[in-house]
Amino acid sequence: MKILAIETSCDETAISIIEADGSFNDAKFKILSNVVHSQVAEHAPYGGVFPALAKREHSKNLTQVLFKALGLDLVSKSQVILANPISNDKLKEIEKILDREPELLEQFLELIPTLEIPDIDAIAVTHGPGLEPALWVGINFAKALSIVWNKPVIATNHMLGHVFSAFMDEQEFSISDIQFPMLTLLVSGGHTELILMKDFGTYEKIGQTRDDAVGEAFDKVARLLELPYPGGPEISRLAEKFDSSESQQAPKLEFPRPMLHSKDFDFSFSGLKTSVLYTVKKIGKLTQADKEEIAHEFQQAAIDVLVKKTIQAAQKYGAKIVILGGGVAANNKLRKQLTEAVEKNLPNSIIQIPDIKFTGDNAAMIAIAAYFTYLKSGFTKEPLKIEADGNLSL
C-alpha cells in the first residue's frame, strides 16, 4: 500500500510517500520521498512559532512541497496540459473546502489538474495535536486532494508519528518484534509526556507537563541568554562547550529539578525557567562563560527530571521498550543519559531512539503511523468531516 502523508501541525510543511506492507507484528516500509519545508527562518523574529504565520506559510508552500514529494518541478502556465481536469461539481466542493486558504485554492486549481493521479492508495493527514490554524491547512488540502484523486483518507495522530519515528531508517526498514508494554517519552516544543502503549490500539498518557513543554523551556532560556530561535540546539551547543572547556571548574550554579521526587509522572519546567531568569538578572552582564555554565546547568536539570521519571515509569509498568521521540530527542546529552539509565536500571528492556534526522516533524513518520492506524481501524469513515483537534490525545 502506498500512502501519501501530509503534516502541517506546527512549523514544518511536510509531505512524504511511503510504501507499506505486512501486519502489526511484521510491517515493512520503504520511504519513497520525504520532503520537509521548514519555516524556522520566518518564525525566528518572533522567538517562537506564530500560529497565523504558520497557517499562511503552509498555504503558500503546500502545493510546491507536494510536487517535490512527487518528484516533479512546478510547471509554468505556458506548459500546462490538464492531465486531470476538475469537473464542475468537484470544483464547487473544493472552493468550499479551501475557502479559508485563498492562496492555496488558487495554486490548487491552477496546478493540481496538471498532475496525473499519482500511484497512491491513500492520503494520510495529521489532525492533531498541534496548532489548529496550521492543522486545518493540511486537513483541507488532504480533503481537496481526496476529492480530485478519489482516494481514501487516514486521519493520523501526530504523537503516534513521533513514537514510530524511533524505528525509522533511511530507506527500507521493518518494524517487527514490537513488544508491549512500550513506554515513550515525547519531548517537543509543545509536548512533554510519557505515553504507555499496552497494545497497538491502547495508549495511555501516564504523565505530562503541568506548564511549559521542555522544548519551550529550552527556547525561553535561550532567549534569556540572547540566543537565536530555536533555542534547543543553541543551548546544547553551549552546554557542550562548558563540558569541553579546558579551564572547567565544578559548576557553581545550581538550578532546581522540579517535581523530581513527586509520586506521579508529571513534569513542570516553568519554575526552572524562572530560576534561570533570576540568575540572569542577578549576574547582570553575562559573559560567554556565564552563558555556557547556565546552559549546561539548565540542560542537566531538565534531563535529570526527564530521565528519572522515565525510568521510574518504565519500572512501574514493566516497559519492554523505552522510546524517546520529538524535537528535543535531538539533544545528544538526553540521548546518551537516557540510554545509559535504561541499560543500567532496566536490563530486560531495550531503548529505541530515532536517528537525529527524524526527531523533528516530518511526514514519513505520519505515513507510518497512518499505516498502523489503518491496520487497526481502516480508512477514516467520513473524511470530509475530519476536524483539527489541537489537543488530540492518543
Give the interface with ligand KG4 as residue ranges (CB under 6 A): 10, 188-190, 215-216, 218-219, 230-233, 236, 326-328, 330-331, 360-361
Residue ranges of E strands in 188-264? 192-197, 203-208
Instruction: Please select the residue that binds Zn ion; options are 39, 165, 188, 300, rule is CB under 5 A.
Output: 188
Among the listed residues 182, 135, 137, the one whose alpha carbon sits nearest the alpha carbon of residue 163: 182
264 Cβ partners below 8 Å, 6+ apart? Answer: 207
363 Cβ partners below 8 Å, 6+ apart? Answer: 5, 6, 7, 14, 15, 16, 34, 35, 36, 69
Tell me the three cell numbers of residue 195: 505515553
80 vs 356, beta carbon nearer Zn ion: 356
98 vs 366, beta carbon nearer ligand KG4: 366
Report the distance separating Cα 157 and Cα 164, nearest Å. Answer: 11
User: Residue 218 touches which of ligand KG4, Zn ion, none (CB < 5 to 8 A by kind)?
Assistant: ligand KG4
Tell me the three cell numbers of residue 308: 528519572
Listing DSSP states for 320-333 in one string gives: SEEEEESGGGG-HH
8 vs 275, beta carbon nearer Zn ion: 8
CB atoms within 10 A of CB 2: 16
Residues in binding contact with Zn ion, number by CB under 5 A: 2
Question: CB 238 → ligand KG4: shortest distance, Å?
Answer: 11
138 vs 190, beta carbon nearer ligand KG4: 190
CB 238 within 8 A of CB 291: yes
Question: CB 25 → ligand KG4: shortest distance, Å?
Answer: 28
Question: CB 14 → ligand KG4: shortest distance, Å?
Answer: 11
Question: CB 361 → ligand KG4: shortest distance, Å?
Answer: 5
* Site track for Zn ion across 355-394, x = CB under 5 A: ------x---------------------------------
8 vs 188, beta carbon nearer Zn ion: 188
Tell me the three cell numbers of residue 299: 540542560
Tell me the three cell numbers of residue 39: 519555516
306 vs 346, beta carbon nearer ligand KG4: 306
Cross-strand pairs, 238: none
Report the distance separating Cα 269 and Cα 326, nearest Å. Answer: 17
193 Cβ partners below 8 Å, 6+ apart? Answer: 159, 185, 186, 205, 207, 208, 209
360 vs 383, beta carbon nearer ligand KG4: 360
215 vs 383, beta carbon nearer Zn ion: 215
Residue numbers 342-361 binding Zn ion by CB under 5 A: 361
Question: CB 130 → ligand KG4: shortest distance, Å?
Answer: 7
Helices (H) and strands (E) in the chain, counts: 12, 11
Question: CB 28 → Zn ion: shortest distance, Å?
Answer: 25
Report the distance separating Cα 6 and Cα 14, nearest Å. Answer: 6
User: Residue 258 touches which of ligand KG4, Zn ion, none (CB < 5 to 8 A by kind)?
Assistant: none
293 binds Zn ion (CB under 5 A): no
Give residue for cell 493520523: 156
* Site track for Zn ion across 148-187, x = CB under 5 A: ----------------------------------------
User: Residue 159 touches which of ligand KG4, Zn ion, none (CB < 5 to 8 A by kind)?
Assistant: none
* Sites of contact with Zn ion (CB under 5 A): 188, 361
